[in-house]
Structure 1
Amino acid sequence: MTLADLVDLVRGGTLGPDPAKCAVSVAFTTRQGVRHATRDQSYRNTVISLRVAEAVGSCAVDDIADAEVHDCVGATVADLLDHPAPAVRTAALDAYLMHARPHARSNARTVTIDPGDSLAKSMARAAAVVDLLDPAPGDRVLVVGVVNSLLHHLRERGATYVPCDLRPGSTEWGEPIVPDALSALPGCDLVLASGMTLGNGTFEPLLRHAAGKPVVLFAQTASAVLPWFIGSGVRAVSAEPYPFFWLDGGPTTIHHYTERPAC
Structure 2
Amino acid sequence: MRAGTGAQRPTAAPDGGSAEPCPLSYDGLVQQVRAAELGPDPRTLRIAVAFTTSQAVRHDGRRGGYRNEVLSLRLDRAVGSCAVEPGALPAGAVDDCAGADVARLLEHPLPAVRVAALDAYLMHVRPHTPENGALPRPLPAGSSLEKSRARARAVAGLLNLAPGRTVLVVGVVNSLLEALRARGLAYIPCDLKGGTTEWGEHVVTDALAALDRCDAVLASGMTLGNGTFEPLREHALRTGRQLVMFAQTGSAVLPRFLGSGVSAVCAEPYPFFWLDGGPGTVHRYGRTGAAL
- Tell me the residue number matched to 1:165: 191
Matches within 5 A, 1:74-113: 74-104=99-129, 105-113=131-139
Cα pair 1:50 1:56 within 8 Å, conserved:
yes
Structure 2 SS opposite 1:39: coil
Query: 1-side partners of 2:143 and 2:213: how far apart?
Result: 36
- Tell me the residue number matched to 1:185: 211
Is structure 2 residue 245 aligned with structure 1 residue 220? no
Identity %, equivalent residues: 63
Is structure 2 residue 147 aligned with structure 1 residue 135? no
| Offset from partner CA, 1:69-106 (integer Å, 9 cap, x none) | 11111110000000011000000000000001111242
| Offset from partner CA, 1:157-191 (integer Å, 9 cap, x none) | 11100000001210000001000011111010010
Cα pair 1:148 1:172 within 8 Å, conserved:
yes
- Tell me the residue number matched to 2:33: 10
Q: CA deviation at 1:67?
A: 1.0
Q: Which among 55, 59, 71 is matched to residue 32 of structure 1?
A: 55
Cα pair 1:135 1:157 within 8 Å, conserved:
no
Is structure 2 residue 178 aligned with structure 1 residue 152? yes
Greater gyration radius? 2
AA aligned opposite 1:188: C
Query: 1-side partners of 2:186 and 2:34: how far apart?
Result: 42
Query: 1-side partners of 2:91 and 2:178: how far apart?
Result: 36
Query: 1-side partners of 2:140 and 2:72: how far apart?
Result: 24
Q: Which among 237, 246, 268 is matched to residue 240 of structure 1?
A: 268
The two structures have a TM-score, normalised by structure 1, of 0.96
| Offset from partner CA, 1:217-246 (integer Å, 9 cap, x none) | 000000000001111111000000000000
AA aligned opposite 1:181: A
Q: CA deviation at 1:135?
A: 2.7
Root mean square deviation of aligned Cα? 1.0
- Tell me the residue number matched to 2:281: 253
AA aligned opposite 2:276: D
Q: CA deviation at 1:8?
A: 1.2
Structure 2 SS opposite 1:24: coil
Query: 2-side partners of 1:3 and 1:125: how far apart?
Result: 26
| Offset from partner CA, 1:40-76 (integer Å, 9 cap, x none) | 1100011000011110000001121241111111110
Q: Which among 22, 47, 69 is matched to residue 94 of structure 2?
A: 69
Query: 1-side partners of 2:224 and 2:96: how far apart?
Result: 22
AA aligned opposite 1:250: G
Structure 2 SS opposite 1:49: strand
- Tell me the residue number matched to 2:5: none
What runs of 5+ residues in structure 1 fail to find an aligned partner?
none
Deviating above 4 A after TM superposition, structure 1's stretches of 4 or more consecutive aligned residues are none
Give the total of aligned pairs. 259
Q: CA deviation at 1:209?
A: 2.9
Query: 2-side partners of 1:170 and 1:72: how far apart?
Result: 36
AA aligned opposite 1:47: V
Query: 1-side partners of 2:183 and 2:271: how far apart?
Result: 29
- Tell me the residue number matched to 1:44: 67
